[in-house]
Structure 1
């Protein structure tokens, strides 16, 4: 019984050690742009947005520029986007707001 408990505790500690206390700020910035991009494209309930080749540039002071390509299915629309996010203490989920969003 004691051996099982030690093994269980060790497994939990190892599993939790892989968790990061702080999320990747570039991933958070990219995620923040996804819903506004969907809204700007005025997608129907049946359409899905996929993004790819996403890159993020640190602009300083917590601001980040996110750019990449997108495709909409069904419908086949493709294009590019540029999104700038800035810190926002009012946003409880990600702590960011979209400053600008351009669809190309």
Structure 2
């Protein structure tokens, strides 16, 4: 029924595809811009966002490796008894991660 349709349209992936199709039509085809020019614009946009998506995905995977490996708990235990500033501790942790990433 209507609830199923609303849930389908409200799904994040479906909503993004619908918004992309509406944008291609309203910003391109409805303005009589040739389809090749619209697709060239889409290709340029995809190449710019592609690397960013890979970096974000890699960061998420690295986060899960750190969590599954227990690194967060180890670092917390390591610095629990210190009287260092939280800002300094954050810098040290960032430096350790930077070194581990190469």
- Same fold flag (TM > 0.5): no
The structure that is strand-richer by fraction is 1
TM-score (norm 2): 0.30
TM-score (norm 1): 0.30
If you compute each CA radius of gyration, which structure gives the higher value, 1 or 2? 2
Q: Relative contact order, CA 8 A, sep 6+: which one is greater?
A: 1
The structure that is helix-richer by fraction is 2
